[in-house]
Amino acid sequence: MRSNRLFMMVLANLRRSRNHFLLASIGIVVGIATFAFFLSLGLGVRQVVLGKIFPLDKLEVIPKSLEVDVGPIRMGMGRDVLDDEMVAKIKALPGVKAVYPKMKLTVGSIAYGGEALFGTDLRSEIVADGIDPDLMTEEIDRDGYEFADFDAPERLAEEPLVPCTKDEECGKKMYCGPPAGSTVERGGTKAKAKPKPRPKPKPRPKPKTIDAKIPTRTLAPPTAPPGTQATPPKPATSPSPATPKPGASPRPATASAPAIPGASASAQPGSPSPTTPGTGAAPPGTPRTVPRTPTPKAAEPEPEPEPAKVCRHFVPVIVSNHVVELYNGTLRRAHNFPQLNPDAVRGFTFDLIVGESMVLASNKDRVVHDRGMFVGFSDKAIPLGITLPLGYVQRYNVEFGNAEDAQRYHSVIVEVPVKDDVAMVAKGVEDLELQVKDSGAEQAALLIAVFMMVFGLVSAVIVGIAAVNIMHVFFMLVYERQREIGVMRAVGATRGDIGRIILGEAASLGMMAGTAGLLLAVTAASIFDQVSARYVPDFPYKPTTYFDFPWWLIVASLAFSVSFCVLGALLPARRAARMEPARVLSGN
């Protein structure tokens, strides 16, 4: 029998027995709808949980250490960092595409700003880490925003420094600030971090006038040695000013006198002393007074000059979607803040003060004052905090630590493009005496798999019961049409033709019932999403839809429906094909 003839006969039989087939297909429709609904729900939840919350294609590797609890303190035994040598070993593992180091900021830091968003500036302690910018290239570097290390030495060597005095001279994506690597005295804000103006010098006090009551010391005239005749002192003459040279300024003449042994510095030539009128010299035996000399003050240190300002790039900052969901779901309600649109927040700037902390013991004498800019949101960022390019965190840690801190990575992100290789990579990591950080992905994947398995089994039971009902219906139809089948066999139809007619009707019934079941599942999913969007409050990672209908799920649902219907009609078709035309037409 030709295929077109067979197809027309099948459609005619379905149309003639539509009431029987309609009742028989109800079970198939319900079973396929249940199968498609819950399987698509599991796939949608799996996509959110394992694609956004716990991504499986990125493994975070951390050092393996033993932790011992001592009262309220948990002490780690062993190393807690990775170096460049260990990173190279991880990258050499089979199945690993790339390795991206991560480093935590190990110095207290404060973020200050937010007036444009919240109406007032906020001041908060921040938790930050650094990540390799290559990991974020495809996700962040768009719409004019770039997640890169702008202060890297090789990049600064290519870009000339542009002096400036205010932010407007540097454009929208840059600001006017001190050169990269500059530090200022800790003050909390940028205004306080500037050097203080030089204080005006205080006038020196005038020397005190010597009072007559100050005790004086009498200097005895020198005596001649024994056996010699004392020479009377010559009368001193008034000193006359020396004749200055042409072009030279006149100087006051200084009287010269021989040094007196045992006399103090005030009695040496040039020091004031009481004189006898008309002679200009003190007679022997006249008491001389010693004036007090004021002690000079120590010179005050010069304040450090403020560094020249240049145009600098903002420090690019990304945050996790955890932070956005936490803020929009809970934090904003507690402080009456507006709800934020993640796409509109890109480009928001704030002050970043590294070295200052709300914990007083963590404050440093000098701080690094930079300015940050939000450039995007990513699930690869630290869950609660901000993430910077790795180079910035390395320089901050070295600035307030030592040079070895530039290679002290706290974890690495291992990219495994093939999910089937995850187990092999995890085993290689354990062989290096490291461990894969337990992010909850395995438990979440197991729960989702159990969920999908349970509801898939329920759907299979429903469709199986419907197949039994279909088998009963087809047995009944074969009995009703046995004379028709006998005539077809008598005019030349083969047993295969009779079997193909019955199975074609079952396959057509399964296709129509499967299509109706899929439409019912999609409609139920749409109603579920609308009810959730309207009546369910926002929560972290609330999706716009909970369902995912990939193409293979549609094909699998239709194949599931057709196969169960054909399976149910297999025995009736075999019975119809074995009928003897003579016995059927004779009534036996």
The predicted-structure confidence for 303-356, as pLDDT tens digits, reads as follows 555 458 899 999 999 998 888 888 887 888 888 888 888 778 888 899 999 999
Q: What value does the mean pLDDT take over residues 534-557?
A: 83
What pLDDT does 388 receive?
A: 94
d(C-alpha 100, C-alpha 46), whole Å = 25
In the predicted model, is pLDDT for residue 522 greater than 90?
yes
Q: Which letter does DSSP use for residue 217 in this model?
A: B
What percentage of the chain carries pLDDT values higher than 70?
72
What percentage of the chain carries pLDDT values higher than 90?
16
| Residues 91-129 as b or e (16 or more Cβ within 10 Å = b) | eebebbeebbbbbbbebbbbbbbbeeeeeeeeeeebebb
* Least reliable range by pLDDT among 144-158, 200-214, 384-398: 200-214
- Report CA Rg, the chain: 48
Is residue 395 within 8 A of residue 355, CB to CB? The reply is no
Neighbours of 494 (CB within 10 A): 12
Nearest CA to 373 out of 100, 154, 183, 113 is that of 113
In the predicted model, is pLDDT for residue 544 greater than 80?
yes
d(C-alpha 5, C-alpha 2), whole Å = 5
* Least reliable range by pLDDT among 80-89, 128-137, 305-314: 305-314
Decide the pairing of beta strands 58-63 and 434-436.
Answer: antiparallel
In the predicted model, is pLDDT for residue 268 greater than 80?
no
Decide the pairing of beta strands 66-70 and 73-77.
Answer: antiparallel
Sequential DSSP letters for 158-187: HSPP-B-SSGGGS-SSEEEESPTT--EE--
Note the residue count of the chain: 588
What pLDDT does 187 receive?
A: 65
Is residue 186 within 8 A of residue 355, CB to CB? The reply is yes
What pLDDT does 368 receive?
A: 92
Q: Which residue has the tokens 């016995």?
A: 583
Let me know the angle formed at the C-alpha of 142 by 368 and 439, rounded to the nearest 5 degrees: 70
For residue 354, the SS3 value is strand
Average pLDDT, the chain: 76
Measure Cα distances from 53 to 57, 89, 380 in Å: 12, 28, 10
Q: What is the pLDDT of residues 224-257, one digit of tens each?
A: 444 444 444 444 444 444 444 444 444 444 434 4
What pLDDT does 279 receive?
A: 46
Contacts of 262 (CB under 8 A, 6+ apart): 219
Neighbours of 287 (CB within 10 A): 11
Decide the pairing of beta strands 109-113 and 349-354.
Answer: antiparallel
For residue 386, the SS3 value is strand
Q: What value does the mean pLDDT take over residues 10-32?
A: 80
pLDDT class for 52, splitting at 50, 70, 90? low
d(C-alpha 401, C-alpha 408), whole Å = 11
What pLDDT does 224 receive?
A: 47
Amino acid at 319: V
Q: Name the more confident of 226 and 357.
A: 357
**175 has which bridge partners?**
312
Give 241's Cβ-side CA count (13 Å radius): 7
What pLDDT does 440 receive?
A: 63
pLDDT class for 373, splitting at 50, 70, 90? very high
Q: Name the more confident of 20 and 357.
A: 357
Per DSSP, the chain holds a count of helices (H) and strands (E) of: 17, 16
Distance of CA 446 to the CA centre of its chain: 28
The pTM for the full model equals: 0.55
Is residue 29 within 8 A of residue 513, CB to CB? The reply is yes
What pLDDT does 2 receive?
A: 67
- Please give the structure tokens belonging to residue 344: 């509109």
In the predicted model, is pLDDT for residue 263 greater than 60?
no
Distance of CA 526 to the CA centre of its chain: 35
In the predicted model, is pLDDT for residue 128 greater than 90?
yes
What pLDDT does 441 receive?
A: 61
Q: Which letter does DSSP use for residue 327 in this model?
A: I
Neighbours of 543 (CB within 10 A): 15
